[in-house]
């Protein structure tokens, strides 16, 4: 067993050996080796999973969604909530019989969950069917690790914490042909007390703007219509995020730009100005506030107050009174009182969010919040969450009515929930829109006149092609 993996042979030699092996496998079995790659969690994980698939395709793998067909099963994991980890452990347990029936099957986990030492130790002792565990800093070693397992039947545990230069040569096999995720930076320096991300993804590292611009330009050339820029805090992009938006806006083509996430402590007037002035940047800002109480925000180490937050809202709305905001909210943070929770409800009414993404506080081992006394019962947290959602439903039902009668640009991405003849997509304001239209419009910008506002989406009628 290789406990702490270090480079055994150079990566180019390992890739050549894997390519030779996959060729022999195909000649013997009549098909290429098949890999199942499943990514949990955020958009960054989805992007990482697409890069893993790209790496594997270069050494002869093809892909399947059937565990019974796969020669390699790799779960790309999330560590934000404990229930996400429990789900992965359950999946690993289900694979035990597959390994018993096929000892050559390679089973692995990677990503944020795998970066945690206690997780690796648990897998090492309890899940003997798992051959490969590697964290968020080890993607560059993947060919070496796979070859070591195939050639020596070793178990590999690579929890390297060494920062390496950002690799711009990854081939990315994208799952979506309409929308693409483009990371502009990795890691986080904020250390919110509830969050494990800085510990599993490391400190902030930014890609060079010329690399981001080249990637977006290539995606647009290949027909992608929506580009989402990713970063744990895009406002910390070291080369200037508003400047990057303006440069991407100059790229010729019929596409639009989204981004996430934006930390309120760094959200500037320049950012709002860039959003409003750039033609291809969506007129929407996801601005996670997390709580409406200043005491709780301080305990969370968010480094802004509700007054600071509202200044950003006010500036945007002074420029565009109907500017679209969405947010994240945590309910039941340790020591939160009901009165403080009610401050969050009041903030919802003040801001008038189009949508909120709300979560019951989930304890994460290794974070400072995990050491805080948590006197709020799970039942009480659940009641507060339902109360919050009812408040938001009341707000959004009234606020979304501003769209009725307006014509908005929509990018349909699939069939809708309203009926068989409906498509669903999002407007520039990040609103879900259902429209009765032919499937030929999937992946094309269309104009939709809004006829009805619901508390979760808009409904409209097709006007004309854009």
For 132-169, the pLDDT digits (tens) are 999 998 888 999 999 999 999 999 999 887 766 667 77
CA angle, 71 then 77 then 81, to 5°: 150
Instruction: Give the range among 20-24, 81-85, 212-216, 394-398 with minimum mean pLDDT.
Output: 81-85
CATH of the domain at 425: 2.40.50.140
71 in a domain, yes or no? yes
Same domain? For 150 and 15 the reply is: yes
Q: Pairing relation of β-strands 185-186 and 458-465?
A: unpaired
CA angle, 120 then 125 then 128, to 5°: 95
Same domain? For 26 and 128 the reply is: yes
Q: HSE of 271 in the Cβ direction (CA atoms, 13 Å)?
A: 25
Q: HSE of 115 in the Cβ direction (CA atoms, 13 Å)?
A: 23
Average pLDDT of the chain? 93
163 in a domain, yes or no? no
CATH of the domain at 219: 3.30.750.210
Minimal CA–CA distance to 198: which of 301, 84, 88, 85? 301
CATH of the domain at 37: 3.40.50.280
**Chain centroid to CA 29: how far?**
37
Same domain? For 302 and 213 the reply is: no
- What does the alpha-carbon distance between residue 274 and residue 282 come to, in Å, rounded to a whole number? 10
For 40-81, the pLDDT digits (tens) are 988 999 999 999 999 999 999 999 999 999 999 999 998 877
6 in a domain, yes or no? no
How large is the average pLDDT for residues 366-374?
Answer: 94
Domain boundary among 282, 297, 325: 282
Name the domain count of the chain.
4
Q: Per the annotation, where are the binding residues? A: 42, 78, 112, 188, 192, 195
Q: Per the annotation, where are the binding residues for [4Fe-4S] cluster? A: 42, 78, 112, 188, 192, 195
| 3-state SS track over 192-247 | CCCCCHHHHHCCCEECCHHHHHHHHHHHHHCCCCEEEEECCCHHHCCCCHHHHHHH
Residue ranges making up the domain that contains 420? 404-465
How large is the average pLDDT for residues 84-106?
Answer: 91
398-426 as b/e: b if 16+ CB within 10 A:
ebbeebeeeebbbbbbeebebeeebbbbb
355 in a domain, yes or no? yes
Q: Which is more confident, 139 or 305?
A: 305
pLDDT value of position 164: 63
pLDDT band at 363 (very low <50, low <70, confident <90, very high): confident
Q: Look at residue 28 and tell me whether its pLDDT is greater than 80.
A: yes
Same domain? For 16 and 154 the reply is: yes
Same domain? For 125 and 263 the reply is: no
Please, are residues 333 and 298 in contact by the beta-carbon 8 Å criterion?
Answer: no
pLDDT value of position 5: 45
Same domain? For 373 and 288 the reply is: yes
How large is the average pLDDT for residues 381-397?
Answer: 96
196 in a domain, yes or no? yes
Same domain? For 57 and 141 the reply is: yes
pLDDT band at 175 (very low <50, low <70, confident <90, very high): confident
Same domain? For 186 and 255 the reply is: yes
Q: Give the H/E segment covering residue 20.
A: helix 11-29
- What does the alpha-carbon distance between residue 48 and residue 170 come to, in Å, rounded to a whole number? 10
Q: Look at residue 200 and tell me whether its pLDDT is greater than 80.
A: yes
For 404-461, the pLDDT digits (tens) are 999 999 999 999 988 889 999 999 999 999 999 999 999 999 999 999 999 889 999 9
pLDDT value of position 417: 86
pLDDT value of position 170: 77
CATH of the domain at 369: 3.30.750.200
Same domain? For 275 and 221 the reply is: yes
Same domain? For 320 and 388 the reply is: yes
4 in a domain, yes or no? no
Domain boundary among 402, 420, 448: 402
Minimal CA–CA distance to 259: which of 241, 276, 273? 241
Percent of residues, the chain, with pLDDT higher than 70: 96
How large is the average pLDDT for residues 278-299?
Answer: 98
**Predicted model pTM:** 0.91
Same domain? For 185 and 288 the reply is: no
Same domain? For 378 and 418 the reply is: no
Q: Look at residue 189 and tell me whether its pLDDT is greater than 50.
A: yes
Percent of residues, the chain, with pLDDT higher than 90: 84
pLDDT band at 10 (very low <50, low <70, confident <90, very high): low
Place of tokens 């390699």: 72
Domain boundary among 222, 252, 282: 282
For 222-241, the pLDDT digits (tens) are 999 999 999 999 999 999 99
pLDDT band at 390 (very low <50, low <70, confident <90, very high): very high
How large is the average pLDDT for residues 189-206?
Answer: 93
Q: Look at residue 8 and tell me whether its pLDDT is greater than 50.
A: no
């Amino acid at each position: 067993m290789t406990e702490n993996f270090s480079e055994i042979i150079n990566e180019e030699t390992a890739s050549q050996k894997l390519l030779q092996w996959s060729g022999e496998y195909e000649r013997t079995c009549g098909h290429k080796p098949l890999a199942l790659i499943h990514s949990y969690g955020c958009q960054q994980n989805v992007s990482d999973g697409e890069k893993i698939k790209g790496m594997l395709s270069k050494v002869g793998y093809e892909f399947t969604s059937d565990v019974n067909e796969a020669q390699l099963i790799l779960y790309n994991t999330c560590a934000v909530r404990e229930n996400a980890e429990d789900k992965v452990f359950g999946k690993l347990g289900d694979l035990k019989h597959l390994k018993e029936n096929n000892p050559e099957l390679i089973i692995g986990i990677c990503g944020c969950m795998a970066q945690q030492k206690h997780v690796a130790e648990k897998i090492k002792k309890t899940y003997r069917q798992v051959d490969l565990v590697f964290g968020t800093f080890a993607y560059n070693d993947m060919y070496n690790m796979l070859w070591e397992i195939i050639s020596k039947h070793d178990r590999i545990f690579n929890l390297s914490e060494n920062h390496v230069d950002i690799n711009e040569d990854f081939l990315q096999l994208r799952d979506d042909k309409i929308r693409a995720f483009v990371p502009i930076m990795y890691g986080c320096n904020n250390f919110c007390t509830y969050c494990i991300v800085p510990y599993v993804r490391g400190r902030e590292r930014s890609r060079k703007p010329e690399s981001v611009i080249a990637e977006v330009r290539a995606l647009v050339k290949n027909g992608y219509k929506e580009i989402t820029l990713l970063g744990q805090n895009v406002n910390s992009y070291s080369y200037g995020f508003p400047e990057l938006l303006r440069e991407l806006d100059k790229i010729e083509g019929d596409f639009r730009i989204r981004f996430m996430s934006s930390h309120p402590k760094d959200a500037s007037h320049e950012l709002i100005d860039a959003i409003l002035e750039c033609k291809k940047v969506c007129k929407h800002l996801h601005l996670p506030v997390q709580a409406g109480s200043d005491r709780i925000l301080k305990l969370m180490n968010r480094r802004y107050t509700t007054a600071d937050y509202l200044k950003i809202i006010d500036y945007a709305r002074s420029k565009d009174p109907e500017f679209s905001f969405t947010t994240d909210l945590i309910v039941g943070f340790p020591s939160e009182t009901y009165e403080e929770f009610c401050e969050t409800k009041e903030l919802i009414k003040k801001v008038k969010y189009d949508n909120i993404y709300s979560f019951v506080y989930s304890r994460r081992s290794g974070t400072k919040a995990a050491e805080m006394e948590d006197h709020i019962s799970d039942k009480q947290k659940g009641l507060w969450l339902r109360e919050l959602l009812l408040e938001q439903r009341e707000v959004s039902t009234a606020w979304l009515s501003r769209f009725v009668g307006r014509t908005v640009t929509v990018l349909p991405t699939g069939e809708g929930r309203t009926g068989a003849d409906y498509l669903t997509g999002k407007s520039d304001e990040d609103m879900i829109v259902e429209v009765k239209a032919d499937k030929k419009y999937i992946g094309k910008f269309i104009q939709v006149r809004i006829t009805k506002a619901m508390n979760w989406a808009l409904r409209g009628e097709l006007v004309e092609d854009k």
